[in-house]
Structure 1
Amino acid sequence: MSREFYFILQSIIESKYYTPNPDEACIFVPSIDTLNQNRFRTLETSQALASLTYWSEGENHLVFNMIPGSVPDYSTVVELSLGRAIVAGAGFSSWTYRPGFDVSLPVYSPTTGQLSDAQHKGAKSWLIVSSQTNLHPEYMRELWHLAQDHSDMLLLEACTSDLQGNYSVRCRGDEVYQYPHILQQARFCLVVRGARLGQPTLLEAMAAGCIPVICADSLVMPFQDVLDWKRAAIFIAEDDLGSLMDVLTSLSDDRVAELQRQVHWFYDRYLSSIKKITLTTLDILNDRVFPQHARTYEEWNMSPDPLATKSPLFLQLTAPRSQGFTAVILTYDRVESLFSLIQKLVKAPSLSKVLVVWNNQRKSPPHPSMWPKINKPLKVIQTKENKLSNRFYPYEEIETEAILTIDDDIVMLTSDELEFGYEVWREFPDRIVGFPSRTHVWDNVTMRWKYESEWTNQISMVLTGAAFHHKYWSYLYTTSMPGNIKDWVDEHMNCEDIAMNFLVANVTKKAPIKVTPRKKFKCPKCINTEMLSADLNHMMERSQCIDRFAAIYGSMPLQTVEFRADPVLYKDNFPEKLKRFNDIGSL
């Protein structure tokens, strides 16, 4: 048994997932070392696996393969007769990897242990192309031409002559460099497809705090099912290798800083040791077995301190799993109004799904047969507690980046208004974009901040009773709200919309955007006492909220603006057929 495989088994046994009772187990891990295909004989190994008591043609078995030189060629996997076993392997290609079934691992490199966090610090200037001795000659020629034209590009090879076989050094001509320490001076490290698709260079680069530049078209990145590698690496098509330096020099300093931050996060959290790689693999499998308790995509990808980021650059970079927006309706007991709202929402072309958050624990939601028949997916989530913050939970059912949070009594918005609001959000995905607006003012008498709902030319908040925002803000609201703001909101059943405006403004330093001239938002059939806002104390509490939140943040993050977005031809005297949005409300 190899040292690395011993650590894998040890990590499993010490994990929260382990059970010594096979009758309780969901997944079986054979104690036969299959990490390095160069170190075992396939026929004997296949026979040994088949002889295991619970093998059953590999069903519900997990087989590891991740040591340098042991990339799981599909032909070898077949030869090993793994049957229906899950392969946790390194160097998968897009045509051999089975998404949602196999687990893609990094090619493990023991040299990463020579690099420490303290060595990451300091200026980084070079592009380092580390030695990959099995590179295709065509790629080598391309890289040599680039290195000759760009002095800030360092192309290294394995040293020869008296240094032959000593892979702790790399050479460029007569110059000798210590490897992998030289990577710590680099801002970018190139990972090129070689004779084997997976390369230990990726892990070595990340350990050195170097941004990987991936030039391997069919490579499946480590833990690709849950990690968004576009946040931590640059991808260049193999045919575009010649444009490498143009791509890298075009990156802004902010983009480079964000990539470096995400490289450190991915490496430290998931890739820095055999133990972390193993536990991440188990976490992914656990999420597949129990999807109702699975971490969201953002929880996998965002660090514990996302508020430290000056600007949510990823909002411009992340590809959504689904286009359009998800309408999240918070409701308690107004069924008639809720059904009317759903029927209006489905008329918006960009609506992807309706998510009803049923906040009433004393009464079950209507029977499925009673709900409106609509042509879009509808999901009802029953909450365990009646909390306003439930509207901002990043539910896994939300597969779009854009969320429309809307109260069950906002039945006056037209499909044109909703569609136009979504179009504006697409232009400003880091902002809260919506319909009812408010502002904050300083009261010189009480020397406190005051919530102002009167009509003014200025706005600093858009209420989330009818507003679009990015799912990322729901994640931040749920996991990283400063102080005890979230607890206070849930205790007082007030100000969740103000808290969200504070959160977004604090990160972006930008104001929200109001769309359309509509100012009146009133439920036509609701009894006044049904609404939280009917309570006189409600308005007083909202002023207290602003003052309390500003004290917690240590400043006033809300930004005041005189701005509203309307359709271009909204007031122009043109035929309706020339206008995209005709049904826009008025004052």
Structure 2
Amino acid sequence: MNRRLSVGGDEGASRVISLQLDRPQRIHLIGIRLRGFVLKLLIVLIVIVVIVAFSLPSFSGVLNEELYPRHGPLSFRDAGENEACSWTLGSDEVRLAETKRILASVRRDLLNAARQLEAVNLQYESLSKQLADKKNELKAVQLEIEEAHLLQKELRDKNNVRVFLPLAPPQRSAVLDARLPRGSSLETAFDFSRCSVAGGFRLYVYDTDKTTRREIAQRYIRHFRNRVEWTEDASIACIFVAVVDEYTDVTSLQYFRSGTNHILLNIGWKPLVNVSNAMVISPEFAKSAYRNDFDIAMYLNVPEYSENEWQHLPQLLPYFRKYFLSYSGVPLSDSFNLKEQLESIAKSASESGDEVLFELNCTTSSEPLALCHDAEYRGALLDDSMFVLLFTSQSSDSSWQFQLRLLEALMHGAVPIVVSLSAPLPLSGLVDWRLATYCIAPQRLPELYFVLRSFAPSDVLEMRRKGRFFLQNYLANTKVIAATLMAAQRQRIGVPGAEHVPSPSVPLFGLSFISPRLVPAGPPHFEEEYLGPPEAPHNSPSFTHNFTSLQLYSSYLWNEFGASLGVSLEYLTVEPPFPSQTEFDDGASFGFRPISPGSGVEFSAAIGGNRPREQFTVLLLTYRRDSVLYASLERLNNLPYLNKVVVVWNNPEDPSGHAWPRLHVPVHFVKASNNSLNNRFIPYDQIETEAVLSLDDDIDLKQHEIIFAFRVWREQRTKVVGFPARHHARYGTEMFYNSNHTCQYSMILTGAAFIHKAYMYIYTYRMPEVIRAKVDELMNCEDLAMNFLVSHITRQPPIKTTSKWTLRCATCSEMLSQDLSHFTERHECIRFFTRVYGYNPLLFSQFRVDSVLFKTRLPPNHQKCFKYV
């Protein structure tokens, strides 16, 4: 610091002396100056106070009053000169009043504080809830972003190749056909150029003037011409069909061309000759004339189709019949001592208490394998037989007697025992006859009784059931034979079935399926639970098995499902799941949504499972209950994995100007042609998913219950999966429908159940017509009919989810189930359906399905899969 000191000098001159001071000296100097200033200020204040005190004589009294105020007789100040006592405490009443006053004041303060605290708590709770909601919203947005990224990756990885119709097979000339020797293989003798896989299976049918059996020929021709493949233009035909007999000159057929692409139905009693490269369908084939990949051995003189043909078929039960084994007919040559071997079988059976019947001298005909008695007698014998022997002719590949005996055995529920390992059975190579017959070498006849006696009762009953299945689907009448032959030919040449035309949906609102009046849906009527990410509508890939159904799924379709449908199915129920690691490898390209490791939070964020992502369609059947329907639609708003809602309007009257709720997915109203409960299972073209949630309009299901049932169905898609369970029970000699609480069930009511769309097609177009007629007659039992159908196809029981037993509608004034005759009609339905199928296919289940962590004690950092199920 530089200080400048002025030093006086001569003549007023001054000079400046600069002194350089160090830092401690400067600080000490400043402290001295501050202390001096404070001391001076204190002296001034003391002087001022003294002056004021002596200039104001009443100051001491005022100060004393302010410091010690009076509160009645009680005072805490010094007593004055005139007061008798320096402390006056007052009476008890005064002290009590003062205490109460203080207490009231404190209470008021506490109440005010409590109100303020309550307001703060409410504000805190509101903010906490908003925080939780915002966190959930943020999580939902993050999941939407993740879902969008996955969808973007799927679209980016998808190989968007322009696909055109395939090139037609190379043309071939008639000269080549003439050069091909008879007996050539199908791949050389058949002209594939006329049958493109892209819808080139056209059918040309010749007239009936080529046979002497005009009546049966006319029936076959009518059924062939009723098919969608039929054409009158022979130039575009793939297959040429002619109904002929042994007197027909097949070479005179206009487009015969060495028999190329021709199918000849032989309704005569003798084998055909000069067929060249034509495919022959006949019960009779001469020795070495039958060609495995060309011909089909089958009895063709069958009756016309009748919806009541089930009445002529026996029931599968009782298991035991009068005769363990039977045979009635002319014996074969004694090349392997048939009579002696049959006598040996009869002796063994007699010793075991079984009865057999062998009639070898029952006719005057000397023709080998000649039939005995008339059809009625033979039928009665077969009705009483568990097993029946079938012998083949040694002079021919196939005989009409053998094919007729096989047909009669199936018609009467006797298990055929074919004494041959090479007999050409109908549709061999397509139908697995091992499921319905037992083939044995002739040399094993002495061992036959021992073999048959070892069969388990369940095996015998299943062989009876399969025999009836093959009969009704492929052999019973002219209609199914015509359909079967076309399906078999398609399979042989590798052309898929005709495109399945689903039932057309008629829009309810003029030309539109969507109501012209829509209003926003109301708030949810239940506690919200995060059940899955929002998704855009995603249809199930359709017709992806057109070609694999010809080979990979061929056995299932022919032996379990019924392959004579004549169409390509939109979806198959038995599509195999992917390997588990697929969802982590190429999963995104296939649409997988894997679940991250964790518990409920991670579980609800993705659909997971063993299959790619998929959605479901809600099918609602309604009739004159607009307000109930409105509430049901509102409950579906924002439901995850929902593709579409299809409302079947069973009311013959058009809707009034009623407004319907606007959901997050389209709601399509379909106008039914009539008021029928069968409309519930029509495979409408508006349904574009495999999974269908069938709902009554009065069913109140929570969204978490629906999503859980959907997840269960994805793993058990061949079954009916739902909520209300029922069972059948026997009382006395009759079977009854039962809705009481029980520990086993056999049916799931389809008023709240997931089913596969393929079953809807079978129900509408393949199930016996008399069952649908019974449903219309009683206005009841459509749910029982669907349960019978699915159990008949799968031989498995349905699956019940959650603990719900009955779903009641509190706001419904009228319900079909409340009618007094409701249960009586359902008893009748169970008995009637059993007679139609020949047995009761319903199977019992003794468990229900809940989510994995249901009622499981979890650590605090884990969450259950669902809150309530």
TM-score normalised to structure 1 length: 0.50
Matched letter for residue 865 of structure 2? R
Matched, 1:323 2:614: yes
Residue in 2 that maps onto 1:401: 690
Q: CA distance change for structure 1 residues 548 and 287 in 2, over 3 Å: closer, same or farther?
A: closer
SS of equivalent to 1:474:
helix
Runs of 4+ in 1 over 4 A off after TM superposition: 88-92, 105-113, 207-210, 261-267, 269-273, 290-293, 296-303, 305-308, 318-322
Contact 2:638 2:664 in 1 (8 A): no
**Partner Cα distance (2:612, 2:485) in 1:** 25
Partner of 1:418: 706
Higher-RCO chain (CA-CA 8 Å, sequence separation at least 6)? 1
* Alignment of 1:551 onto 2:835: yes
Q: Secondary structure at the match of 1:309?
A: helix
Letter in 1 for 2:665: K
Q: CA deviation at 1:353?
A: 0.8
Deviation by residue 1:547-583 (Cα, 9 ceiling, x = unmatched): 1111111111110110100011111233696122114
Structure 1 residues 485 and 576: CA distance shift in structure 2, 3 A: farther
**C-alpha contact (below 8 Å) 1:461/1:512 kept by paired residues:** yes
Name 2:265's counterpart in structure 1.
Answer: none
Name the residue aligned to 1:352. 643
Question: Shift in Å at residue 316 of structure 1?
Answer: 2.4
Counterparts of 1:536 and 1:435, CA distance in 2: 24
Match of 1:309 in 2: 559
| Aligned 1:434-473 pairs, distance under 5 A | 434-444=722-732, 447-473=733-759
1:339 and 2:589 correspond: no
How far off is 1:485 after superposition? 0.9
Matched, 1:364 2:364: no
Identity in percent: 36
1:310 partner amino acid: E
Structure 1 residue 69: deviation in Å?
6.3
2:825 corresponds in structure 1 to 541
Say if 1:68 and 1:107, in contact at 8 Å, map to a contact too: no
1:449-473 deviation line (CA, Å, top 9, x unaligned): 1011000001000000000010111
* CA–CA separation in structure 1 for the residues paired with 2:613 and 2:485: 28
Say which SS state the counterpart of residue 345 (structure 1) adopts.
coil
| Deviation at residue 346 of structure 1 after TM alignment | 3.4
Report the CA distance between 1:520 and its aligned residue. 3.0
Q: What is the CA-CA distance between 1:324 and the residue it aligns to?
A: 1.1
* 1:35-56, Cα deviation, whole Å (9 max, x unpaired): xxxxxxxxxxxxxxxxxxxxxx
State the alpha-carbon separation in 1 of the partners of residues 714 and 728 from structure 2. 26
Query: 1:483, CA displacement in angstroms?
Result: 5.3
Contact 1:388 1:494 in 2 (8 A): yes
Contact 1:436 1:466 in 2 (8 A): yes
* Partners of 1:572 and 1:461 in 2: CA distance: 29
Q: For the residues of structure 1 that align with 2:648 and 2:544, how far apart are their CA atoms?
A: 20
Q: Name the CA shift for 1:484/1:429 in 2 (closer, same or farther; >3 Å).
A: same
- In 2, Cα distance between equivalents of 1:318 and 1:398: 22
CA displacement, residues 245-290 of structure 1 (integer Å, 9 cap, x when unaligned): xxxxxxxxxxxxxxxx9998656359969xx99xx9xx86x979x9
Q: Could you say if the C-alpha distance between residues 553 and 386 of structure 1 is closer, same or farther in structure 2, counting changes exceeding 3 Å?
A: same
User: Is there any run of 5+ residues in structure 2 with no aligned partner, and where?
Assistant: 1-164, 173-193, 199-235, 240-256, 263-276, 282-289, 295-426, 431-473, 475-482, 507-541, 563-570, 578-610
Show the counterpart of 2:799: 513
8 Å contact kept, 2:505–2:686:
no
Question: In the aligned structure 2, how far is the partner of 1:544 from the partner of 1:90?
Answer: 50
Which of 657, 665, 686 is 1:376 aligned to? 665
For the structure 1 residues 287 and 414, does the alpha-carbon distance in structure 2 shift closer, same or farther, using more than 3 Å as the test? closer
Q: Evaluate the alpha carbon distance shift between residue 64 and residue 331 of structure 1 in structure 2; reply closer, same or farther with a 3 A threshold.
A: same
CA shift in 2, pair 1:270/1:310, >3 Å: closer
Question: Which residue of the partner structure matches residue 567 of structure 1?
Answer: 851
Structure 1 portions without partners, runs of 5+? 1-62, 71-87, 93-104, 123-206, 211-260
Match of 1:141 in 2: none
SS in 2 for 1:316: coil
1:126-165 map, 5 Å: none
Letter aligned with residue 168 of structure 2:
M
TM-score (norm 2): 0.35
Contact 1:322 1:400 in 2 (8 A): no
Contact 2:504 2:684 in 1 (8 A): no
Q: Decide which of 119, 125, 130 is 2:291's aligned counterpart.
A: 119
Which secondary structure state, in structure 2, belongs to the residue aligned with residue 498 of structure 1?
Answer: helix
Does residue 579 of the first structure (1) align with residue 864 of the second (2)?
A: yes
SS in structure 1 at match of 2:661: coil
Q: Deviations over 1:113-172 (max 9, x none)?
A: 6473663469xxxxxxxxxxxxxxxxxxxxxxxxxxxxxxxxxxxxxxxxxxxxxxxxxx
Counterpart pick for 1:68 among 164, 170, 192? 170
| 1:18-51 deviation digits (Å, cap 9, x = unpaired) | xxxxxxxxxxxxxxxxxxxxxxxxxxxxxxxxxx
CA contact (8 A) 2:505 2:670 kept: no
Quote the Cα distance in structure 1 between the aligned partners of 2:486 and 2:803: 44
- Matched residues in 2 for 1:376 and 1:418: separation? 16
Check conservation: 2:693, 2:752, Cα contact below 8 A. yes
Tell me how far 1:482 sits from its aligned partner. 2.4
* 2:554 aligned with 1:268: no
Residue of structure 1 in register with 2:815 after alignment: 531
